[in-house]
Amino acid sequence: MTQSDIETAERLGRRRTQMLPAMAAIFAAQQTVFFIPADNASRLVDKVAVGGWILLSAVLVLLLWNGGAWLHSKSVRALLNDEVTRAHRGEALSLGFVLSMGVALVIYATAGIEPMQVREAIHIVVSIGVVVAAVRFTMLERRAYADA
């Protein structure tokens, strides 16, 4: 582990706190997919939009789960995802999970009053969990980098 690794990890970590909210904003903006009527969802453009939403969801979940920087060396990844970051990821994922479960329970409880398609329900549950976790992680990381 060298000074260069530490500098690289710091640069990547700071970049991550800028990239993640941008990705979360793009992800949130993609919620328009949710409002596509089912009978129009067979258009190619809608399939691409849904595919994009699924891909971005998977990338964000993976990023929050293991920290990213997949193309960098093991030592840089270890520094980038050290104890503090792992604690932040854990807290962010916990909050995202709890809110997802809360939303899922509300959807389940109100299913008799306001029926919802399975796809719509999953979309809402996943979106809430991912966005909340990404925002929380960014907040914690930015606070940690302040004054550093």
Partner 1 sequence: MPEALTNTLRAHRETRGWTQADLAERVGVSRKTINTVENGVFVPSTIIALKLAAAFGCAVEELFRLEA
Answer yes or no: are the C-beta atoms of 60 and 96 closer than 8 Å.
Answer: no
> What does the per-residue mask of binding to partner 1 show for 66-95, with x meaning CB under 8 A?
-------------xx-xxxx-x--------
Q: Does 15 bind partner 1 (CB under 8 A)?
A: no
The DSSP 8-state label assigned to residue 95 in this structure reads: H
Answer yes or no: are the C-beta atoms of 104 and 86 closer than 8 Å.
Answer: no
Q: Does 9 bind partner 1 (CB under 8 A)?
A: yes
Q: How many residues does the chain have?
A: 148
Q: Does 1 bind partner 1 (CB under 8 A)?
A: yes
**E strands along the chain, which residues?**
none
CB of 7 to partner 1, least distance (A): 8
Q: Token pair of 144, please?
A: 């940690």
Residues that bind partner 1 (CB under 8 A): 1-3, 6-7, 9-10, 13, 79-80, 82-85, 87, 143-145, 147-148
